[in-house]
Amino acid sequence: MIDVVLCARRRDDMSLEEFHRYWRDKHAPLVASHAETLGMLSYVLYLTLDTGLESIVQEARGCPADVYDGIAVLSFESLDEMAAKGAEPAALAAAEELAADERRFIDHARSRIWFTEHHTII
């Protein structure tokens, strides 16, 4: 399985609450509406909690305090499946619609995205 991981930061003009609400209540349903067209098996959001524990854990491990406002993990059967579906005209249109909507709440210049091979251990 292949996962696309997006570590996102919100636009400067949005509060964390606005960002989370938009992503969860507006963007996520839009993603779900295109999942079959894109060949997406799952879409999971991880919305950042402000617990105060981050700095303790980061410091203990020597991690930089590079804070994201949320993470999305999009899962696909394989790179070949993803590429084949993604080349279809309907998928290209869906991907453009999703990217345009992302620009409403995500600061792409300060966010990160990468492809991973999925291994479930537990």
Q: What integer pLDDT is reported at residue 13 of this predicted model?
A: 98
Q: What integer pLDDT is reported at residue 75 of this predicted model?
A: 97
Residue 122 within a domain: no
Q: What integer pLDDT is reported at residue 54 of this predicted model?
A: 77
For residue 50, give the CATH number of its domain.
3.30.70.100
Q: What integer pLDDT is reported at residue 102 of this predicted model?
A: 98
What's the half-sphere exposure (Cβ side, CA atoms, 13 Å) at 121? 0
Residue 60 within a domain: yes
Separation CA 74–CA 35 (nearest Å): 10
Residue 63 within a domain: yes
Residue 94 within a domain: yes
Q: How many domains does the chain have?
A: 1
- Tell me the residue range of the domain where 41 lies: 2-117
Record the pTM.
0.88
**CA proximity to 26, closest of 104, 89, 80, 91:** 104
* Mean pLDDT for back-to-back runs of 10 residues, the chain (122 residues): 96 96 98 97 93 78 82 96 94 97 97 93 93
Separation CA 38–CA 2 (nearest Å): 13
Q: What integer pLDDT is reported at residue 61 of this predicted model?
A: 85
